[in-house]
Amino acid sequence: MVMLLNSLEFLIAVDKEYLTIRYHREEKLIWNQWRGAIPSPQLREAMISACHFILVNDVELILADFTRMCAPTVEDQVWLGKHSAELLQHSTLRKVAILTAQDIFQQMAIERMYEKASERPMPCESRPFISKADAMEWLLADESY
Q: What is the CATH number for 115?
A: 3.30.750.24
145 inside domain: no
Question: Looking at residue 87, what is its pLDDT?
Answer: 93
95 inside domain: yes
Give the integer Cα–Cα distance in Å for 143 and 71.
33
Q: Is pLDDT of 63 > 60? A: yes
100 inside domain: yes
* Residues spanned by the domain of 44: 2-140
In this structure, what DSSP letter does residue 23 have?
Answer: E
In this structure, what DSSP letter does residue 124 have?
Answer: S
Question: Looking at residue 65, what is its pLDDT?
Answer: 94
Tally of domains in the chain: 1
104 inside domain: yes
78 inside domain: yes
pTM for the model? 0.85
Tell me how many degrees the CA angle 27-16-56 measures, rounded to the nearest 5.
40
